[in-house]
Amino acid sequence: MSLRFILLALLLSQTALAGTKACGGAQVGFWTNPDGSRGGMVASTAKAFTGAIIAPEAQVCDYAQIQSGAKLLDRATLAGRAQLLPGGEVGGSARVEGEAKVGGSVNIPTKISGEVVVSGSPLITGRTNISQKAKVSGSAKVHNSIICQASLIEGIEVIESDYYCQTDDPEPAHPGEAGTKTLLGVDVDRDGVRDDIEIWINQKFSNTAEKDMYNLRQVFKLQAIQNNESLKWASDKQKSREISKKKMDLVDCMLELSRSTSKDITIKLKALDVVEDSLDEFKVNIMNTRDRIKAHSRYLSNLHGTVLKGTGNKDICGFEVRK
């Protein structure tokens, strides 16, 4: 339990105290939830309506409003002139600010969670679920949609869509320290991709309004599978060489995908730079423990004296590439 939370608990008998520091030092008071439990902090300039639920560590700041039937959970913050309407539910460490409006119907949950940031004047309604590190800003309108990973929704309409969340491969929870305890890491969904790497890939290659990033997500996930295989079989020279051929195929696939993004040579070169930079970042994330670095060194030593080349298969990507 954090020191901050303990100090707040000591003030339970003084809920009328408006001098508690929160909302950037504004004057606040504690909210009382419908069940009588102590809720979070509400600035003197903000408005919380009877029937609203505010978790003990949540904050309603500035001139924001939380209406009856709305929920501000966990460590979430409502700020600016944002309005959390009936059915709206904001949790995690999400922050909703500006003149955003979330929710609208007490019987239809509109959910925001994770590290999401909502700013500007967007309208978020219906059975929408925004999670992880997504950002919604400007005058965007989101209705009955799923948005996740690191998707950026800026001033556009997203209606009845899951394009900005890779629902074909739901993202696992981050394993935290457990992900570094073993050589091969944690793979809860058993798809062969380490969970921490799968999260990095989904965030790095989230769809944009201009481009479906599915192909790059897939090729990097296959690369992650091959990298884990190379660590697993680092003491086997023959398997190491077989794996290296598959990895070379995937590198060629990445380059081919980047070249085909445009006919413009300048754009092609920029795309190649993005792939190369992403590969460097990928390597740093994949080899993030001493044991993994040592196993990778053993794998590389198995390749000494060999010419690095692919398998020779025509299908260098190993999955159905989206056009």
At residue 272, the pLDDT reads 63
Q: Is residue 310 part of a domain?
A: no
At residue 22, the pLDDT reads 82
At residue 4, the pLDDT reads 41
Q: What is the pLDDT of residues 90-140, one digit of tens each?
A: 999 999 999 999 999 999 999 999 999 999 999 999 999 999 999 999 999
Radius of gyration of the chain (CA): 24
At residue 269, the pLDDT reads 53
At residue 252, the pLDDT reads 87
What is the model's pTM?
Answer: 0.78
Q: What is the DSSP letter of 82?
A: -
Q: What is the pLDDT of residues 49-75, one digit of tens each?
A: 999 999 999 999 999 999 999 999 999
Indicate if 86 and 219 belong to the same structural domain: no
Indicate if 34 and 66 belong to the same structural domain: yes
Indicate if 147 and 185 belong to the same structural domain: no
At residue 139, the pLDDT reads 97
At residue 323, the pLDDT reads 80
Indicate if 190 and 149 belong to the same structural domain: no
Indicate if 118 and 18 belong to the same structural domain: yes
Collect all residues with Cβ–Cβ distance below 8 Å to 188 and sequence separation of at least 6: 172, 173, 175, 195
Q: What is the pLDDT of residues 147-173, one digit of tens each?
A: 998 999 999 999 999 999 987 777 888
- For tokens 């058993």, the residue is 190
Indicate if 188 and 271 belong to the same structural domain: yes
Cβ 64 vs Cβ 78: under 8 Å: yes
At residue 263, the pLDDT reads 54
Which of 159, 194, 226 is the C-terminal boundary of a domain? Answer: 159
Rounded Cα–Cα distance for residues 225 and 216 (Å): 14
At residue 258, the pLDDT reads 74
Indicate if 27 and 153 belong to the same structural domain: yes
Rounded Cα–Cα distance for residues 65 and 110 (Å): 16
Rounded Cα–Cα distance for residues 85 and 256 (Å): 48
Q: What is the pLDDT of residues 249-303, one digit of tens each?
A: 998 888 888 776 555 555 455 556 667 788 889 999 999 999 999 999 999 999 9
At residue 166, the pLDDT reads 81
Indicate if 153 and 245 belong to the same structural domain: no
Q: Is residue 258 part of a domain?
A: yes
Q: Is residue 214 part of a domain?
A: yes
Q: What is the pLDDT of residues 2-26, one digit of tens each?
A: 444 333 343 333 333 333 468 988 9
- Domain of 204 in residue numbering reads as 176-301
Q: What is the pLDDT of residues 178-207, one digit of tens each?
A: 999 999 999 999 999 999 999 999 988 899
Which of 132, 159, 186 is the C-terminal boundary of a domain? Answer: 159
Indicate if 154 and 189 belong to the same structural domain: no
Per the structure, how many domains does the chain have? 2
CATH number of the domain to which 113 belongs: 2.160.10.10
Residue 258 burial (CB count, 10 A): 22
- pLDDT of residue 30 exceeding 90, the answer is yes
Cβ 44 vs Cβ 62: under 8 Å: no
Indicate if 37 and 153 belong to the same structural domain: yes
Indicate if 33 and 110 belong to the same structural domain: yes
